[in-house]
Amino acid sequence: MASKSLFLSPALRLALLSMLAFGVVAAFMLIGAGGNWEFVLPFRGAKLAAMVLVAYAIALSSVLFQTITHNRILTPSIMGFDALYLLIQAAIVFSLGIDPLGETGNVNLRFAVEVILMTGFACLLFRALFTGAAHSLHLMLLAGIVFGLLFRSLASFVMRLIDPNEFLVLQDRMFASFNAIQTDLLWVAATAIGLASLVAWRLRRRYDVLVLGREIAVNLGIDYRRTVMLTLGLIAVMVSVSTALVGPVTFFGLLVSNLAYVSAGSSKHRWLLPVAVLWGVVFLVGGQVLLERVLELNATVSVVIEFVGGLLFLFLITRRKL
Partner 1 sequence: MAASPLEKHAHAPDKARALSSSWVALPILLTVALVAASVAIGAGDFSFAALTAGPGSDAWQLLMVSRLPRTLALLLAGMSLAVAGLIMQMLVRNRFVEPSTAGTIESATLGVLVLALLAPDTPVFGKMLVAAGFALAGTFLFLGLLRRIPLRSPYLVPLVGLILGGVVQAVTTFFAYRYDMLQTLHAWTVGDFSGVLRGRYELLWIGAALTFAAWLAADRFTVAGMGQQFTTNLGLNYKRLTFWGLLIVACISSTVVVTAGSIPFLGLIVPNVVSIIFGDNMRRSVPWVAVLGGLFVLACDIIGRLVVFPYEIPIGTVVGSIGGALFLFLLLRGRSRGE
Kindly list the residues in this chain that would bind partner 1 in the complex (CB under 8 A): 132-134, 136, 138-139, 141-143, 145-147, 149-150, 152-154, 156-157, 160-161, 164, 250, 297-300, 303-304, 306-307, 310-311, 313-314, 317-318, 320, 322
Q: Cβ 306 to partner 1, closest distance in Å?
A: 4
**DSSP β-bridge partners for residue 177:** 180
Cα separation of 316 and 69, whole Å? Answer: 16
Q: Cβ 20 to partner 1, closest distance in Å?
A: 25
Q: With respect to partner 1, which residue has the nearer C-beta, 3 or 131? A: 131
Q: With respect to partner 1, which residue has the nearer C-beta, 6 or 133? A: 133
Kind and range of the H or E run holding 58: helix 37-69
Q: With respect to partner 1, which residue has the nearer C-beta, 98 or 143? A: 143
Q: Cβ 319 to partner 1, closest distance in Å?
A: 8
Kind and range of the H or E run holding 146: helix 137-161
- How many contiguous H segments (helices) and E segments (strands) does the chain have? 14, 0
Q: CA neighbours within 13 Å on the CB side: how many for 154?
A: 15
Q: Cβ 159 to partner 1, closest distance in Å?
A: 9
Burial 48-80 (b: 16+ CB within 10 A, else e): bbbbbbbbbbbbbbbbbbbbbbeebbbbbbbbb
Q: Cβ 88 to partner 1, closest distance in Å?
A: 15
Q: What CA–CA distances, in Å, run from 10 to 29, 57, 253?
A: 28, 22, 21
Residue type, 197: S
Q: Cβ 126 to partner 1, closest distance in Å?
A: 14
Q: With respect to partner 1, which residue has the nearer C-beta, 174 or 237? A: 174
**DSSP β-bridge partners for residue 180:** 177
Q: With respect to partner 1, which residue has the nearer C-beta, 202 or 320? A: 320
Q: With respect to partner 1, which residue has the nearer C-beta, 39 or 307? A: 307
